[in-house]
Amino acid sequence: MRYFLFCILYFFSTLFISAQIFDVEIIKDNPGDIDKRINLVILSEGYQASELTKFKTDAESLVNDMFSQSPFAEYSDYFNVHIIKVPSNESGADHPGTATDVTEPKTPVETKDTYFNATFDAFNYHRYLFYGIDYTDAAPAEAKIRSVLADNFPTYDQALILVNTNIYGGIGGEFPMASISSNEIAIHELGHSLFNLKDEYFLSDAVYYSEAINMTQETDPNLVKWKNWINENGISIYPYGATGVSATWYKPQDGDKCKMEKLDQPFCSVCKEGIIEKIHSLVSPIESYTPVSNTVSNPSFPIDFHLNLIKPIPNSLESSWTLNAVNFATNVDDVNILETDLNTGINNLTVVVTDNTTLLKVDNHETIHVYMVTWTIDNSSLGVKAIESDINNLKLIMYPNPANTIANFKIESERDARLKVDIISLDGKRVKTVPISNYITQQVDISNLSEGIYIVNFYANKVLVASKKLVKL
Ligand SMILES: [Zn+2]
């Protein structure tokens, strides 16, 4: 028993010794459930304990800059930002003077005792500011970053390390780092880390190229992933370089006009769209709804059904309410159901929410995010017996578009649902109806359809959840 007690005490003592608890403060707060936001966490590096107030000011300045820019300004309410105040023994970051891309020492050679070991000259590039000179050197600091996050803010979506130096530098990766020389560095690095964007400036052939939101080897303007943006806002297909590997890879914007190419520029339309798609994949615009299952007993008419939405600024959400597969209301957050609206027996009230922002080429974008709430209302001659609710997030994917012989449809639904796609000709005739299994790409032969425009209607449990235009060549 005593040995057992010793073991328990030893366990707790190691727990308390290893856990590093720091001050955590929220600097961008949205009312509502913290789990229903993208949680950005900023950690301090190279700030002494006496400088942590300055760290908070620096982080607030970054957040103000970030959320004054599109598309973060429009989707500001989808984010919370916390800071973790980690003190260092000394201020600043290491500069060993070992970079090979500049004539060193570009800035004074110095060594600083800092918590996460930030250093310039990482991977031999002077402006690469990282928590180690290479990946091997970075391993202990990376373990520290993970444990600080686990001990202080385990539910983060993205962490960023802000380094207390005015020398220009930063790097992307899982835990991006940025100096305070410019807030733009941090925003650019977040473009890499949280939104999977690539650089759009010239990249040497030694750099790893790959297909990404804003990087491709496709040169056909009808097939390129940003085809819907071609010739709009300067978007086209531009090579990274003139010769070698870099000449075989392409980007959507040129002439220093995207933040992924040059700081102090806005994100290009393709990068903005990629950021918003990621926001939608992380956060449902339906924060909550009422009534929820098992909270309603003996409701009296009219019954109020309410959505609590996280609205972009300006609001680009559209909502469509359906009662028993008949359109009931559009673009309202509340509906009232009267006794006369209901059939005897089971009734289904569904609301479908989509984001119709012009920053997304929704009409023929490859993927549409659809959010829906369904209430099952059990109505008897004596009144409503029960209301059950369910929420479902769906992704609708259709490609290629235009299509010639085969069109591919895929529905990814969080909940089991009966899924169906109807193809409708412009004169209103249903020319094909295709049942679709969840998560399975359905190839549909459209070679016998005549050329022209068709409307594709996506249904989940008999409710129309989206309509897309399909061009048949
Ligand atoms: Zn871009």
Q: Which residues surround ligand 1, an ion (CB under 5 A)?
A: 214, 253, 258, 260, 268, 271
DSSP 8-state assignment for residue 275: H
Q: Are 85 and 109 in contact (CB under 8 A)?
A: no
pLDDT at residue 15 greater than cutoff 80: no
If DSSP codes are grouped into helix, strand and coil, which group holds residue 177?
A: strand
Do the strands 238-239 and 177-179 form a parallel or antiparallel pair, or are they unpaired? unpaired
CA 181 – ligand 1 centroid, Å: 22
Return left, alpha or beta for 14; rule: phi > 0 is left, psi -120 to 50 is alpha, else beta: alpha
CA 174 – ligand 1 centroid, Å: 20
CA 217 – ligand 1 centroid, Å: 15
Instruction: Name the strand (E) or helix (H) holding 79.
Output: strand 79-85
How is residue 436 written in tokens?
A: 């679709």
Q: Are 21 and 152 in contact (CB under 8 A)?
A: yes
Q: Are 299 and 307 in contact (CB under 8 A)?
A: no
CA 345 – ligand 1 centroid, Å: 53
CA 360 – ligand 1 centroid, Å: 14
Q: Are 389 and 293 in contact (CB under 8 A)?
A: yes
CA 296 – ligand 1 centroid, Å: 49
pLDDT score for 362? 54
If DSSP codes are grouped into helix, strand and coil, which group holds residue 38?
A: strand
pLDDT at residue 183 greater than cutoff 50: yes
Confidence tier at 467 by pLDDT (50, 70, 90) = confident
CA 275 – ligand 1 centroid, Å: 10
CA 267 – ligand 1 centroid, Å: 5
pLDDT score for 113? 98
- E strand residue ranges, 296-382: 303-309, 317-323, 326-330, 334-337, 345-355, 367-380
Closest to 384 measured CA to CA, from 300, 306, 323, 325: 300
How is residue 258 written in tokens?
A: 């995207």
Q: Which residues, 6+ apart, have CB-to-CB distance to 376 below 8 Å? A: 346, 347, 348, 386, 387, 388, 389, 390
Confidence tier at 369 by pLDDT (50, 70, 90) = confident
How far apart CA 162 and CA 68 sit, in angstroms, is 19
Taking CA atoms, 429 is separated from 131, 404, 423, 454, in Å, by 62, 20, 8, 10
Q: Are 433 and 421 in contact (CB under 8 A)?
A: yes
How is residue 103 written in tokens?
A: 């004539």
What integer best gives the mean pLDDT of the chain?
91
pLDDT tens track for 57-112: 999 999 999 999 999 999 999 999 999 999 999 999 999 999 999 999 999 999 99
Percent of the chain residues topping a pLDDT of 90: 75
CA 29 to chain centre: 18
pLDDT at residue 343 greater than cutoff 80: yes
Q: Are 140 and 117 in contact (CB under 8 A)?
A: yes
pLDDT tens track for 380-407: 888 888 899 999 999 888 888 888 999 9
pLDDT tens track for 242-264: 999 999 999 999 989 999 999 99
CA 86 – ligand 1 centroid, Å: 33
CA 353 – ligand 1 centroid, Å: 28
CA 233 – ligand 1 centroid, Å: 11
CA 251 – ligand 1 centroid, Å: 7
CA 182 – ligand 1 centroid, Å: 19
Ordered by where they begin, the domains of the chain are: 16-193 (3.40.390.10), 199-269 (no CATH), 284-472 (no CATH)
Kindly state the average pLDDT of the residues 279-302: 87
pLDDT tens track for 187-237: 999 999 999 999 998 877 777 899 999 999 999 998 898 988 999 999 999
pLDDT score for 386? 87
CA 268 – ligand 1 centroid, Å: 4
Q: What are phi and psi of 128, to 5 degrees?
A: -80, 110
How many CB atoms sit inside 10 A of residue 158's CB? 19
Give a three-class secondary structure readout of 383-435.
Answer: EEEEEEEEEEEEEEEEECCCECCEEEEEEEECCCCCEEEEEEECCCCEEEEEE
pLDDT score for 469? 87
pLDDT at residue 9 greater than cutoff 70: no
If DSSP codes are grouped into helix, strand and coil, which group holds residue 250?
A: strand
What DSSP line would sit under 227-241, residue for residue? GGGTTSTT---EES-
Kindly state the average pLDDT of the residues 327-348: 95
pLDDT score for 1? 40
CA 41 – ligand 1 centroid, Å: 24
CA 236 – ligand 1 centroid, Å: 11
Closest to 47 measured CA to CA, from 103, 1, 112: 112
How far apart CA 176 and CA 186 sit, in angstroms, is 8
CA 122 – ligand 1 centroid, Å: 25
Taking CA atoms, 101 is separated from 17, 104, 110, 366, in Å, by 42, 9, 19, 40
pLDDT score for 35? 85
pTM beyond 0.85: the answer is: yes
CA 363 – ligand 1 centroid, Å: 21
How far apart CA 466 and CA 356 sit, in angstroms, is 11
pLDDT tens track for 26-62: 999 887 788 899 999 999 999 999 999 999 999 999 9
Q: Are 387 and 401 in contact (CB under 8 A)?
A: no
How far apart CA 315 and CA 311 sit, in angstroms, is 5
Closest to 268 measured CA to CA, from 287, 255, 278: 255
CA 235 – ligand 1 centroid, Å: 9
CA 273 – ligand 1 centroid, Å: 9
How many CB atoms sit inside 10 A of residue 247's CB? 12
How far apart CA 238 and CA 250 sit, in angstroms, is 5
pLDDT at residue 176 greater than cutoff 50: yes
